[in-house]
Every structure is written in structure tokens, then in C-alpha cells.
Amino acid sequence: MELSSLLANLIIPLDLCIALLGLGAVLRLFRLRRTGNVAAILGLAWALAWSLPITSIWLGGELEQRYPHVVPAEAPQAEAIVVLGGNTGHGRSNWFLPLDKDTAMSRLDMAIDLYEAGRAPKIVLSGGALSGDVSDAKSMAHRVRQSGIPDNALILENSSRTTHENALLTEDKLELHDIHDILLVTSALHMPRAMAAFAKQGVNATAVPTPAQIILPADGSISPWLPNARAFEASRSIIKEYAGLLVYWWRGWV
């Protein structure tokens, strides 16, 4: 497991809450009641904080807004579009609402739209197989071909399993094909880490993220200050990005 994912799993609100409640109970058994109470309170507070939409909007929104979304027709020209594997089948329009396939835009949808808008003549699909034998890149290629994009427009990078490897191995493909500037496509939340990783490899990339998701519905159906099950569940994605940025900085990958 990637170190950033391991760290994120340790501090996922539900996991950490249960661990601290358990620790608190053990400490109380050893008559360390005050310390045990503090541990339990911290666990409950951590879970409560991440159940509030305002926490996702504040911390997740800060990452999403670093690279604003642009419509494909207004994106700059480049030599290739690089789309990163992972979460390619989702892309809900709003973080707090159920998936609506009619309004969803995945990373791959964005890459296809950029190609069809004439922003670049090549699409580089980056992603290895996290399980099974079929890489993310091959899965994406199948869907891209279904949209009518020819095989000679596709370059596949089939081995990467992390964002760091996405950047490292894609840079090799770009050099092999004499490509010097790209449009980088991933989710808005993931884009800061992805751009930093590609910059570390010396790739001249322009960020073209999918639309921001961590926004309150316009109909006012979600209060930012009331616990929300979707906010609590999805918080792990935000935590993973902050953990990833920390680990990548520590390892010199960004």
C-alpha cells in the first residue's frame, strides 16, 4: 500500500474515532480516567468535524480552487493530453449529492472533450493495474476508442500505481514521443499533488481539472453546519490528498 494511503487510512474519521474510543476505554480500565476521557473526546470531535460539510468545503475546497476548471474549448493548445487513471467512472457533479450519470464528468470525459475540441492531437493514458491484469490505461483506451478517437492518437502508460509513478513513467513516454508540453487532466481535488509531481519531473504541464465538486447544492438542501453522511464518507478523499502532499514532500517527490 502507498505510504500516503496508509497514513490516510489511519486518520480516516471513523477509523481514528473507533481507535481513540477504544484507547480511552483501555485507559479508563487502568484508572487513567482523565487521559481516557481526553482520548475519547478527541475521537468524537474528529468524527464530528468531518461529518460537517463546512469542513469539506474549507479543506477540500482549498485544494480544488488552486487550479480552476476551464471548458475544453477555452483550454490552451498543447502537444498531448495526459489523463491520470483512478476514479475514471465517477465524477459526480456535487460532492454531497448522489451520483447523477447525466451530469457527471469523469477525468476521461474531460480528456475526450479536450481532444474533440482540438486542444491536442494525442492522448496519453496513464495508470497501471491496481488489481487484476487489465491496467487503468487499457480500460480507458477501450472507452476512448468507443468515442471514435483513433488508436494512432493514443499513448498508453500501463505500469504506474501512484501519482509519483504517473509522473515518472509518463515523462518517459513523453520524451520517447518528443512531446514537450501537455494538458494534465485529473480531478480538481487531486490536481495540486499531480501538478507538483509532474513539475518535479520537469514536465511542462497546464492543469485542466474536472469541475470542482465540493460545493453546496444551489437549492439549499444541505446545511454546512449539520452532520451529513456523504460528507463523512467522502472525507477520506480529502484526507488522502493532504496525507499524499505531506508524504510526497517528505520523500522529495514534489
Q: What is the pLDDT of residues 64-111, one digit of tens each?
A: 999 999 999 999 999 999 999 976 556 788 999 888 888 888 999 999
What pLDDT shows up at residue 9?
A: 79
Are 189 and 78 found together in one domain? yes
Report if residue 217 sits inside a domain: no
Are 161 and 235 found together in one domain? no
Based on the structure, what is the number of domains in the chain? 2
Are 84 and 19 found together in one domain? no
What pLDDT shows up at residue 1?
A: 56
What pLDDT shows up at residue 89?
A: 52
DSSP secondary structure of 116-185: HTTS-S-EEEE---SSSS--HHHHHHHHHHHTT--GGGEEEE----SHHHHHHHHHHHHHHTT--EEEEE
- Kindly report, residue by residue over 29-46, the tens digit of the pLDDT: 999 999 999 999 999 999
Are 153 and 233 found together in one domain? no
Are 201 and 76 found together in one domain? yes
On whether the CB atoms of residues 180 and 156 are closer than 8 A, the answer is no
Domain that holds residue 25: 3-63+224-251
Q: How far apart are CA 110 and CA 100, in angstroms?
A: 16
Low-confidence ranges of the chain (pLDDT < 50): none
Report if residue 215 sits inside a domain: no
Are 195 and 244 found together in one domain? no
What pLDDT shows up at residue 90?
A: 65
What pLDDT shows up at residue 87?
A: 66
Report if residue 59 sits inside a domain: yes
Are 146 and 111 found together in one domain? yes
Which pTM does this prediction carry? Answer: 0.93
Are 160 and 91 found together in one domain? yes
Report if residue 148 sits inside a domain: yes
DSSP E strand stretches across the chain: 80-84, 123-126, 154-157, 181-185, 204-207
Q: What is the CATH number of the domain that holds 121?
A: 3.40.50.620
